[in-house]
Amino acid sequence: MTTYSDFTVGDPAADRAAPDGPIETRWERRRFGVKLVNPANKRKMHVIVVGTGLAGGSASATLAELGYRVSSFCYQDSPRRAHSIAAQGGINAAKNYRNDGDSVYRLFYDTVKGGDFRARESNVHRLAEISRQIIDQCVAQGVPFAREYGGLLDNRSFGGAQVSRTFYARGQTGQQLLLGAYQALERQVDAGGVTMYPRHEMLELIVVDGHARGIVARDLVTGETRSHLADAVVLASGGYGNVFFLSTNAKGCNVTASWRAHRKGALFANPCFTQIHPTCIPVSGDHQSKLTLMSESLRNDGRVWVPARKGDDRDPNLIPEAERDYFLERQYPAFGNLVPRDIASRAAKNVCDEGRGVGPGGLGVFLDFAEVIGRLGRPAVEAKYGNLFQMYQRITGEDPYQVPMRIYPAVHYTMGGLWVDYDLQSTIPGLFVVGEANFSDHGANRLGASALMQGLADGYFVLPSTIGDYLATSGHDPVDPDHPAVLAAEQDVAHRIDTLLSIKGTRTVDSFHRELGHLMWEHCGMERTEAGLRKALDRIPELRKEFWENVLVPGTGVELNQSLERAGRVGDFFELAELMCLDALHRNESCGGHFRAESQTPDGEAARDDENFSYAAAWEFTGRGEAPVLHKEDLAFEYVAPTQRSYK
């Protein structure tokens, strides 16, 4: 057995599906290049989709519209509850309806730059192209976007861009887009194209002769585990932010589907690229179970500040202008309060580290709306942000119309995920990964309003085209339900469940999860150092060992057992956590959301090291606690020359 951090470097990861030639026509050429499936044959082909958020819901609906047989799984009681529903701010699209100089190329450029030059140009360009179709599609579904008096669509600005290209539905854009996809999905359920499995959790991937051919899923109500076989499997199971315990993710969000696939051979790319969102409601106590985001759109009109003087604990309304430090406007005059998320988060952390933070524990900064309320009046502000203000007041008991909000950064999104090629296919043939679960489009930092864009681009437009190429060329026979690979997968699941239930230790699942999360936030959060990461890499295996010896899971496996569900997920988070720390340790540069204290410019900005790290790090699993193998995918920038990002 080798030490975990003594990883080896294997063959480069190669994206064989990527077309070359002029970037503007790559997607069109790839679409022309894919083999088509005869409509009569589509009916015979069965695709499993895990997850019903924007990516999974839109993929299931669209695949069924095309004629495939689809089985769709979600752990929630209804597909409508997937966590895409909580996205507040909006969705980007290069429509240029504002005539303010936007274009597909500018959205492409902003996204490559915003990702700090760690994403693939081809993928990002495709995303920017498709962005326009997404808005058309959602409007056709009856999504009630915000409109102007003339009846045309309204736009707002978002961080990392100087054009207004974000479409929105008050502060509930994710909800409205998800309901559009959900309704399209339910339409296919009614038509017989989709079989829906709510309250089902994928616990294992079935790989037969090197191809993904199904999953083992547990019915969360009866506890029954059984295999579901298909011609291809699509993972749309979201991100892994809950490894930190406290995040803006829903409580159920987990890495299990992705991690099970990783253990079966799918490479996991850039796990350390996590996004810390600058505008969340600060932690109020030890009981805290999750963090709540305040949409980035608030930074359009809210001004971020802290007292200029350390220890100034006066009522914020009594602190005169001259004694306030609008630190984002001061440090980044060109973008001001609208700098990208990674930059805004770190700036907030820095002023709090200086002792100028506000609220309990000094872990907060003000987000102040007094200026805009004075300028536009309260009704205008209410129309724009009413529900967000209400949400803030409900949680904190403070009225943001009267006193500035207090905000602090929190884990929000994970850019890393399963490695996929241009076709969104993982390194296991027949396993496709869409939405936040893959690593493809956001590089080291995601821009606001781009997650909804990517989820829907993948699900409505990219996957339904590219999966046909695989299905047309792979020519599978049905898998025998008694195939050794199927039985082995079922047994693995049964064994893991039995183990968790039989330990009967003394510590609850949540207490382990909290401790792991605290460790990750401390050492693999907003700022990472070699010493801290090494400490985490020492501590995580110890804690994991204790978990498998001392966890207490009440109840049985043949009933609704929420402790058991959480235990399985936390078991996988432990393994992921170790890989995240290793990835963060090996990437001895700062880029986007990954800030290594050892690699900064003289004025404290992230210093990238393109010479040594201009690649996506795709990791191969070799065993729990065993040193993984690193496969590098070199990134080439033919169109947007990498520069030091500047928002000053």
Q: Which residues are catalytic?
A: 341
Kindly state whether residue 9 participates in binding another protein, applying the rule CB under 8 A.
no
Sign of CA pseudo-dihedral 51, 53, 58, 64: positive
Stretch that binds another protein, among 151-159, 402-410, 489-497, 596-604 (CB under 8 A): 151-159
Kindly state whether residue 32 participates in binding another protein, applying the rule CB under 8 A.
no
Residue from 107, 161, 163, 250 touching another protein (CB under 8 A): that is 250
Q: Distance (Å, rounded) from C-alpha 93 to C-alpha 129?
A: 9
Site for another protein in 269-288 (CB under 8 A): 284-285, 287-288
Q: Where are the alpha helices (DSSP H) in 141-214?
A: 173-191
Position 487, amino acid = L
Site for another protein in 587-646 (CB under 8 A): none
Site for another protein in 283-322 (CB under 8 A): 284-285, 287-290, 292-293
Site for another protein in 554-593 (CB under 8 A): 554-555, 559-560, 562-563
Nearer to another protein, 283 or 487 (CB): 283
Distances (CA, A) of 429 to 44, 120, 208, 264, 492: 19, 21, 10, 12, 22
CB of 500 to another protein, least distance (A): 13
Nearer to another protein, 42 or 81 (CB): 81
Nearer to another protein, 82 or 579 (CB): 82
| CA atoms within 13 Å, Cβ hemisphere of 104 | 16
Site for another protein in 105-144 (CB under 8 A): 133, 135-142, 144
Indicate the helix (H) or strand (E) that contains 575: helix 562-586
Nearer to another protein, 103 or 508 (CB): 508
Site string (55-94) toward another protein, x via CB under 8 A: ---x--xx--x----------xxxxxx-x-xx--------
Residue from 39, 40, 101, 149 touching another protein (CB under 8 A): that is 149
Long-range contacts of 496-502 (CB under 8 A, 24+ apart): 496/203, 496/568, 496/571, 497/218, 497/225, 497/557, 497/564, 497/568, 498/557, 499/548, 500/551, 500/553, 500/564, 500/567, 500/568, 500/571, 501/553, 501/555, 501/556, 501/557, 501/564
CB of 137 to another protein, least distance (A): 5
Nearer to another protein, 573 or 621 (CB): 573
* Residue 27, both tokens: 């997607």
**CB-CB neighbours of 41 under 10 Å:** 13
Contact (Cβ atoms closer than 8 angstroms) between residue 433 and residue 71: no
Torsions phi, psi for 293 (to 5 deg)? -80, 145
Q: Where are the alpha helices (DSSP H) in 91-214?
A: 104-114, 121-140, 173-191
Site for another protein in 177-236 (CB under 8 A): 179, 182-184, 186-187, 189-190, 196, 198, 221
Quote the crossing angle between the two packed helices 530-550 and 509-524, to the nearest 10°.
170
Residue from 370, 552, 627, 640 touching another protein (CB under 8 A): that is 552
Nearer to another protein, 32 or 149 (CB): 149
Segments of 289-416 assigned E as strands: 303-307, 324-325, 365-368, 405-414
Nearer to another protein, 457 or 584 (CB): 457
Site for another protein in 448-487 (CB under 8 A): 460-461, 464
Nearer to another protein, 196 or 319 (CB): 196
Q: Distance (Å, rounded) from C-alpha 14 to C-alpha 151?
A: 47
Termini Cα distance of the chain: 49
Contact (Cβ atoms closer than 8 angstroms) between residue 102 and residue 160: no
In sequence order, the 6+-apart residues with CB closer than 8 A to the CB of 220 are 75, 199, 200, 201, 560, 565
* Residue 59, both tokens: 């993929």
Nearer to another protein, 65 or 626 (CB): 65
Contact (Cβ atoms closer than 8 angstroms) between residue 67 and residue 451: no
User: Exposed, middle or buried by CB within 10 Å (0-12, 13-18, 19+), for 73?
Assistant: buried
Nearer to another protein, 117 or 573 (CB): 573
Position 34, amino acid = V
621: nearest Cα among 569, 582, 565, 570: 582
CB of 85 to another protein, least distance (A): 5
CB of 646 to another protein, least distance (A): 33
CB of 596 to another protein, least distance (A): 32
Site string (503-542) toward another protein, x via CB under 8 A: ---x-x-xx-------------------------------
Q: If binding means CB under 8 A, how many residues of this protein chain bind another protein? A: 81
Site string (374-413) toward another protein, x via CB under 8 A: ----------------xx--xx-x----------------
Residue from 35, 43, 251, 309 touching another protein (CB under 8 A): that is 251
